[in-house]
Amino acid sequence: MKTLTKYPIEPLSCWPKAKELRAKYYQDYATARERGGLRWTGGAWAFDAIPAGLGEDVHPLTGEPYGASIAHDRKFSLECMEAAERVGFARDLCSYMRNYWGSILLNKYAFGGEFPKPDFIWQSHICCSHAKWYQVASQLEGGIPMYCVDVSVGPYESLTEGKLEYLVAQMHDGIRWLEKTTGRTYDDEKLIDAVYNECRSTSLWAEICCLNKHTPAPLDEKTMYSLYVLATLQKSSKAVADFYEELRDEVRDRVQRGIGSAEYEQCRIITDTQPPWAFLDVFRYLQNTYGCVSIGSLYTFGLCGIFEVKEDDTWGPRTTPQQKGIQIKTRDEALRILADWNLSRPEWQHFYSHELKSAMLMRMVKEWKVDGVLLHYNRGCEGLSLGIAENKLALQKAGIPVTPFEGNMGDWRDFDRTRTLARVEAFMESLRVERIEPSMQGA
Amino acid sequence: MFEPFRHWYEHRHEYAREWKSRTSGKVVGCFCTYEPEEILYAAELLPLRVYGSHQPSSVTEPHVFGMYCPWTRDVLAQGLLGKYTYLNGITISQSCLHFRQCFTSWQKHVPCEFSYYLPMPHGIQSPHGRKFFTEELKKFKQALEKWVGREITTGELHEGIEVMNENRRLLTQLYELRKAEDPPLTGQEALWVVASAQMTDKRDHNQALKELLPKLVDRKLDREPGVRLMLIGSENDDVEFMEMTETLGATFVVDENCVGTRYFWGEVDSERFEDPLEAIAARYLERPACPAKDWPELSRWPHIERLARDWRVQGAVLMQQKFCDPHELDMFTVKKRLEEMGIRTLFLEFDVTTPVGQFRTRVEAFLEMLRSEDLFAEELL
């Protein structure tokens, strides 16, 4: 009879701090004006290090995690989506965006009270919906000043000086625009600190993801969702960078002591993109029923984690400017580093070719010792679903077990839980992963 | 009168094969309307826009997730079905996500001698876009030179510009005729002309246009023009839909879509810049924008507003390929502003095939509504 290895598990001691940081972020945004501060909104990929130069009392609300927070609350999410649909927006548009617009239209903030109107919009654009999201948001709010940096210059492997300069020139203009729009004097020292923080936080997150190469995985993906999100909120904040340092130390300690994320780890999988936020219990079901641990995804790793290929040809955290001993002295140097750093983000690469995404998924399968891949055909996000069918074909061709499931990250009406469970159960069978029975549970 | 254009539209593959055999030249498939055809002409290549077939096909199912636009799936299907085997090369100037997916799948599964992804900026309103795009056009030119095995001279670039500009001027003249109280051509006929411009050698097309335009001066259609309609939205080469609508007592007098005015509007101004590549870059950045690139301002709107006013449009058909996010994002504002101008709108969502019967009912109701408004207006007077 098969006996499973039972791994010790324990809760993360820094977990309450992660929750506290997230709650404070949303509270700070809502109450910024009461303290004489400013509010801005934009995407999770916006260069938040740049508005940081306006002062410490300038608080962001990043749209994607806000849309995901709404998605987790099915009742409010339905109200938001229906509000957006009532004024004429199509149901197949980005579901984060529709949740966000609905929140404006209903004038209800997901964390209580009225929707806090931003003072300005600060965005970057790689997906077709990015700038358009806030073009509409500005209109719905009666006209909010908006600035957006075009980052769609092609994959990092083909970066040239001209492409980098295109971004940096837009960033310089953006700073002048921020000064004019807010009436504030820009502080380059604050920008430089924010750039250091962003490089530190996003490299640390990549390092944390790399610790999951160990068996048992010290973190499971459902837990990671609550941790990676901090970088999507404000990757350039010192608090986030400091937290990731603490988290990295704790996860490293878990690896050294053999602490797992689940008692049984029969099977390791990865996913590719955003999950259906209203149905995260699917991950717990897989874990508890099959000992199947999702150890991450290109999304959780590469949305904000910045990696580089190390000498042994494996992925590791990108070496930060401070680790290289680079002293940033000027605004231009800070912006150049910021542009280059962001352009190497894994999740930006596959906007140009499905082959780049397939290669990254295959790398993860190999280095993280993965048994199979779950691909979310996500009706809520055309950007990260781009090329997904080709990814499936490429993984299959490489002999990697893969199964797709269809859903929507932010619109629960598009997700069929029963069918999805049936599909993942069939996938477990195809991987020859048996349900955990009491008789299999060792000491 | 429109037979040559209709013939080219309906027999595009035969035309391309015949062109190759006549010139021993190479043909490059273009996937969007932002490809700088001037440079392809300068390299003595024939740029042809890859169109779909309006026939249902399942060959793209393994390659494209179902939530992507039917137009791009239809285009990819043509490659997978071997309809474009005569293409020597393919290129895309960075377009919407849907077309990028179509292009990269084509690259992988329908390989050809030359393929090039031109990173055209999305930030077309940024003052830095021109410098960046000019640099990218230089690289594109170099890649073409390497492929064709010779240098592309400045003189040839100017010739390429002139070929394209002449076509734009002639198409603009054609559209100007549609301003008339009684337009001398239908929207369907205009569509044959403008769509075929993207499937033929512009020199052939220019010649045919030069022969056509004088004939139109005194032409009178054998029917009343009826309601003056404008077509706004994403791609449309659906001649069947145009015909159906125009048999119901209406005429499409102008359009704002990427087969029509967004494709040909605005010339390359070689006088403005010493470097012809910079002049080309400026034209593509400044032409009426695709919604995917139109931010932070909605710069499309002044173009739409001008066309609607100058062509005295009474109603607008807002047509959109299903799942086209950039257009879905703009429709909200475009519809609102048109209606503020007093122009009623009808929104239609298109798929690969057109449900002519269903659309007929909706178009009839729309036209009846517009006509009844006219009736009441007269009674009040």
Number of domains in chain B: 2
| DSSP E strands, chain B | 26-30, 45-49, 89-93, 114-118, 227-233, 250-256, 315-321, 344-350
Round to whole Å and give the CA distance between B9 and A386: 31
pLDDT at B378 over 60: no
Chain A to chain B Cβ contacts (< 8 Å): 135
Place of tokens 């060792």: A442
Quick: pLDDT tens for B64-84. Answer: 999 999 999 999 999 999 999
State whether residue B48 is helix, strand or coil: strand
d(CA B32, CA B103): 10
Looking at residue B57, the DSSP 8-state letter turns out to be -
**Tell me: the pLDDT tens digits for A44-63?**
999 999 999 999 999 999 99
Query: Is the separation of the CB atoms in B356 and B240 below 8 Å?
Result: yes
Q: Does B376 have pLDDT greater than 70?
A: no
Q: Is the ipTM of this complex over 0.90?
A: yes
Chain A residues near residue B326 by CB distance under 8 angstroms: 128, 132
Asked, for residue A3, whether it belongs to a domain, the answer is: no
Q: Enter the tokens of residue B52.
A: 């779909």
Q: Does B329 touch chain A (CB under 8 A)?
A: yes
Same structural domain, B268 and B342: yes
Q: Are B123 and A389 in contact (CB < 8 Å)?
A: no
User: Burial, B162: exposed, middle or buried (Cβ in 10 Å; 0-12, 13-18, 19+)?
Assistant: middle
Q: Is residue B82 less than 8 Å (CB to CB) from chain A?
A: no
Which CATH number does the domain housing residue B371 bear?
Answer: 3.40.50.11900
Chain A residues whose CB is inside 8 A of the B98 CB are 382
Q: Which two tokens stand for residue B220?
A: 């009178």
Q: How many structural domains compose chain A?
A: 1
**Nearest CB partner across the interface for A166, out of B67, B128, B335:** B128
Query: Looking at residue B97, which CATH number applies to its domain?
Result: 3.40.50.11890
What was the pLDDT predicted at B141? 98
Of the pLDDT bands very low, low, confident and very high (cuts 50, 70, 90), residue A98 is very high
d(C-alpha A38, C-alpha A55), whole Å: 9
Is residue A1, in this structure, part of any structural domain at all? no
Q: Does A249 touch chain B (CB under 8 A)?
A: no
DSSP-assigned letters across all residues of A7-67: PPB---TTHHHHHHHHHHHHHHHHHGGGGT-EEEEE-TTS-TTTGGGG-TTEEEEEHHHHH
Please enumerate in sequence order all residues whose Cβ is within 8 A of that of B214, keeping only pairs 6 or more positions apart, or say none: none
* B8: in domain: no
B54 found inside a domain? yes
B104 and B63, same structural domain? yes
Measured in angstroms, the CA of B56 and the nearest CA of chain A are apart by 19
Give the burial class of A151: count Cβ atoms within 10 A of its Cβ; 0-12 exposed, 13-18 middle, 19 or more buried: buried
Q: What is the mean pLDDT of residues A3-26?
A: 96
> Which of B150, B184, B199 represents a domain boundary (last residue)?
B150
Question: Residues B188-234: pLDDT tens digits?
Answer: 999 999 999 999 999 999 999 999 999 999 999 999 999 999 999 98
Cβ contacts (< 8 Å) between B104 and chain A: which residues? 352-355, 387, 390
Looking at the structure, tell me whether residues B276 and B355 fall in a common domain.
Answer: yes
> How far apart are the C-alpha atoms of A383 and A406, rounded to whole Å?
15
Mean pLDDT in chain A?
A: 97
Domain that holds residue B70: 22-150
Q: Does B94 touch chain A (CB under 8 A)?
A: yes
pLDDT in the model for residue B352: 81
Q: Pick the residue of A135, A405, A409 with the most B CBs within 10 A to test the interface with B by mutation.
A: A135
Using a CB-CB cut-off of 8 Å, the residues of chain B touching A132 are 291-292, 295, 325-326, 329-330
Task: Give the model's confidence band at A3: pLDDT under 50 very low, under 70 low, under 90 confident, else very high.
Answer: confident
Claim to verify: residue B117 and residue B183 sit in the same structural domain: no
Asked if the structure places residue A93 within a domain, the reply is yes
pLDDT in tens, A253-285: 999 999 999 999 999 999 999 999 999 999 999
pLDDT number for residue B375: 60
CA distance A59 to A33: 10
Closest CB to B104: pick one of A125, A129, A387. Answer: A387
Predicted local distance difference test score (pLDDT) of residue A380: 95
Q: Mark yes or no for CB contact A382/B123 under 8 Å.
A: no
Shared domain for B254 and B364, answered yes or no, is yes
Nearest by CB to residue A152, choosing from B108, B122, B128, is: B122
For residue B237, being part of any structural domain is answered with yes
The verdict on residue A325 lying in a domain is: yes
Note down the domain range covering A127: 17-438
Q: What are phi and psi of A73, to 5 degrees?
A: -100, 95
Question: Does residue A113 lie within any of the structural domains?
Answer: yes
Q: Taking CB atoms and an 8 Å cutoff, what residues of chain A touch B101?
A: 354, 386-387, 390
Average pLDDT of span A114-137: 98
What's the mean pLDDT in A128-139? 97
A82 has a chain B CB within 8 A of its CB:
no
Is B303 in the same domain as B241? yes
Mean pLDDT of A215-221: 98
Assess if residue B179 is contained within a domain.
yes
Q: Specify the higher pLDDT residue, B350 or B376.
A: B350
Task: Determine contact: B267 vs chain A, CB below 8 A.
Answer: no
Phi, psi of A426 (to 5 degrees): -60, -35
Query: Is residue A199 a part of any domain in this protein?
Result: yes
Clarify whether residues B187 and B312 are in a common domain: yes
Cα gap A181→A198, rounded to integer Å: 24
- Please tell me the predicted confidence (pLDDT) of residue B353: 81
Mean pLDDT for the stretch of residues B266-295? 98
Residues of A in contact with B61 (CB under 8 A): 389
A406: pLDDT strictly greater than 90 = yes
Asked whether residue B132 falls in the same domain as residue B236, the answer is: no
Same domain? For B133 and B165 the reply is: no
- Please check whether residues B213 and B238 belong to one and the same domain: yes
pLDDT over 60 (residue B381): no
Average pLDDT, chain B: 95
Residue B7 lies in a domain: no
DSSP string, A349-403: HTTS-HHHHHHHHHHHHHHTT-SEEEEEEETT-TTTTTTHHHHHHHHHHTT--EE
Could you tell me if residue A2 is inside a domain?
A: no
Could you give the CA distance from residue B363 to residue A213 in angstroms, rounded to a whole number?
60
Residue A4 lies in a domain: no
Q: Do the Cβ atoms of A385 and B128 come within 8 Å?
A: no
Residues in chain B within 8 Å Cβ distance of A351: 97, 100
Domain for residue B11, yes or no?
Answer: no
pTM of the model: 0.96
